Amino acid sequence: MDDNVGAYDPNEDNNNIKEQERLLPIANVGRIMKQSLPTNAKISKEAKETMQECVSEFISFVTSEASEKCRKERRKTVNGDDVCWALEALGFDDYSGPIRRYLHRYRELEVERTNQDRVRDNEREA
Amino acid sequence: MDDEQERLFPIANVGRIMKQILPPTAKISKEAKQTMQESATEFVSFVTAEASDKCHKENRKTVNGDDICWALSTLGFDNYAEAIVRYLYKYRQAERLKANQNKGNSTPDNHEEESNYRSGGQHGRQTELPIPLEFRVMERGDNSQARPS
């Protein structure tokens, strides 16, 4: 990751649009962090911003690897399998298992939804 | 759907960050965005849970940046932790500078406090800024302790 997509630049504070494009919303970061904490626990602003930086870089890091795979295979579209492969390639082996299961479940639901739409269309035509 | 919005990062933002990395001609499937959305959410939960555990053991109620760095390191994301420590140091410098400017004092404090993660809470001076956030490719199995649910 030579391009330092996630580099923190204090001078960039003036440019909120750039910052919003580069990072995930801090409210969402805080909300997701809160779900992992006991009800009486608190999260400092610094912790939220550190995690915000970290998760944005995580996405960039994994996407970069998936993109490289697509480039080598002369494909233009990054798909779910590429993301899973990238997680494995970067050492997130234990992540790729649950994520592959998620992907499998997602695809099953998509097929189900398509079938339901088809049935609905047929009923409408009848 | 509301539950899902609570639990996951907005897919538009995830897609935007992914797009910045890809060549201009490349495309991202909806399933790739959703896979990444799920993965990023799991990553945050996973690291936070570890940081929370540390705070609980130390009878502290507030999770701070150092706890996040410690959690990353403990979970095997050593390269992440190093980069985030540098980020945290720079973040604190910027915050201090902002506070000084608000006070009407534009000269920053030279006695910067380094991240507890790295220095054990001791004060130290650092003349040059730490290099910006940069992750290196990890060897397979570097984060072998990582066990997402």
The half-sphere exposure of A115 on its side-chain side, counting CA atoms within 13 A, is: 6
Residue B78 lies in a domain: yes
Q: Which residues pair with B27 in a beta bridge?
A: A77
Q: Which one has a higher pLDDT value, B92 or B113? A: B92
Which residues of chain B have a CB within 8 Å of the CB of A24?
Answer: 9-10, 13-14, 17, 40
- Residue B126, pLDDT > 50, answer no
Residue A32 lies in a domain: yes
Of A29, A96, A33, the residue nearest A62 (C-alpha):
A96
Q: Into how many domains does chain B fold? A: 1
**By residue range, what is the domain housing residue A100?**
12-125
**By residue range, what is the domain housing residue B93?**
7-101
Across B78-103, average pLDDT: 78
- Are B6 and A31 a contacting pair at CB < 8 A? yes
Nearest-Cα distance to chain A for B37, in Å, is 9
- Are A1 and B134 a contacting pair at CB < 8 A? yes
Across A4-23, average pLDDT: 56
Residue B22's CATH number? 1.10.20.10
Residue B134 lies in a domain: no
Residue A7 lies in a domain: no
Helix boundaries (H) for B58-113: 65-74, 78-102
pLDDT attached to residue A124: 66
Tokens of residue A8, six digits:
């923190």
- Are A50 and B40 a contacting pair at CB < 8 A? no
Residue B90 lies in a domain: yes
Mark which residues 50-79 of B lie under 8 Å from A by CB: 51-52, 55-56, 61-65, 67-69, 72
Q: Is residue B100 within 8 angstroms of chain A, CB to CB?
A: no
Instruction: Tell me which range, A85-99, A105-119, B132-146, is most confidently predicted by mean pLDDT.
Output: A85-99
Share of chain A above pLDDT 90, in %: 35
Minimum-distance CB partner of B21 among A36, A67, A92 = A67
Residue A97 lies in a domain: yes
Q: Kindly tell me the burial class for residue B37, based on how many C-beta atoms sit within 10 Å of its own C-beta (0-12, 13-18, 19 or more).
A: buried
Q: Kindly tell me the burial class for residue A27, based on how many C-beta atoms sit within 10 Å of its own C-beta (0-12, 13-18, 19 or more).
A: exposed
- Residue A12, pLDDT > 60, answer no
Q: Is residue B101 within 8 angstroms of chain A, CB to CB?
A: no
pLDDT attached to residue A18: 62
Q: What angle do CA B97, B100, B102 make, to 5 degrees?
A: 110
d(CA A87, CA A91): 6
Residue B54 lies in a domain: yes
* CA-CA-CA-CA torsion sign (A34, B47, B149, A32): positive
pLDDT attached to residue B2: 54
pLDDT attached to residue B52: 95
Helix (H) or strand (E) holding A98: helix A93-125
Tokens of residue A30, six digits:
């805080």
Q: Is residue B126 within 8 angstroms of chain A, CB to CB?
A: no
Residue A1 lies in a domain: no
pLDDT attached to residue B65: 93
Across A102-124, average pLDDT: 73
- Residue B95, pLDDT > 70, answer yes
Residue A17's CATH number? 1.10.20.10
Residue B87 lies in a domain: yes
- Residue A64, pLDDT > 80, answer yes
Helix boundaries (H) for A2-79: 16-22, 26-35, 45-72
Q: What values do phi and psi take at A92, rounded to 5?
A: -90, 50
- Residue A77, pLDDT > 60, answer yes
Nearest-Cα distance to chain A for B87, in Å, is 6
Residue B135 lies in a domain: no
- Residue A25, pLDDT > 90, answer yes
Residue A6 lies in a domain: no
Per-residue pLDDT of B1-49, as tens digits, reads 556 656 789 999 999 899 889 999 998 998 899 899 989 998 999 899 9
Q: Into how many domains does chain A fold? A: 1
Residue B1 lies in a domain: no
d(CA A25, CA A33): 13
Q: Which one has a higher pLDDT value, B101 or A70? A: A70
Of A106, A81, A102, A76, the residue nearest B28 (C-alpha):
A76
Minimum-distance CB partner of A8 among B87, B144, B146 = B87
